[in-house]
Amino acid sequence: MSIPVEPARFARVTKAFASGVLIAHHPEEGIRVLTVDPDFDEQGSAAITGVRGSILDAAAGDSRMTIVWQPTVAHGWTLIYDGRVDPASPRLVAGADETDALVLTPVSGMLHRPSSHADGPEWIWPDR
């Protein structure tokens, strides 16, 4: 069971969740994860601070990244954001540090839960 989430809705939808998990693929070290609290603009781009080390290295090798927010209740909805690293991200500029944002541009987004969790709560879109 999936509900598409338009990029412009991410700023509101994430308010119904706790922190997300950024998932990246490092060509030599495999999957890398980082707990994140992105800031979204009106177009759905995600600005993420605190990125360093192998996650930053992964961004240089593969611009595809995913953020996942786990359900906050049993059999609730998982929020998934697929994006690509914006090559103009402030974090990618020489001399940048962890306070500078790595920016992801949206590719797709959805709320998802397996049909075996259909007894969970219905999704209600947050007002703000």
What integer pLDDT is reported at residue 127 of this predicted model? 78
Residue 22 counted as domain residue: yes
pLDDT at 25: 95
- Six-digit token pair at 10? 């991410």
Tens digit of each residue's pLDDT (9 = 90 or more) over 37-68:
999 999 999 999 999 999 999 998 899 999 99
Average pLDDT of the chain, as a whole number: 96
Q: Is residue 123 part of a domain?
A: no
pLDDT at residue 58, rounded to an integer: 94
Domain assignment present for residue 74? The answer is yes
| CB-based burial label for 47 (10 Å; 0-12, 13-18, 19+) | middle
- Entry pTM: 0.95
3 state SS of 9:
helix
Work out how many domains the chain is built from and give that number. 1
* 67 domain-assigned: yes
**Domain of 109, in residue numbers:** 2-117
User: Residue 56's beta-bridge partner residues?
Assistant: none
> What is the structure's pLDDT at 128?
63
pLDDT in tens, 65-99: 999 999 999 999 999 999 999 999 999 999 999 99
Q: For the chain, first and last CA: distance in Å?
A: 24
Q: What is the domain-level CATH number for residue 68?
A: 2.30.110.10
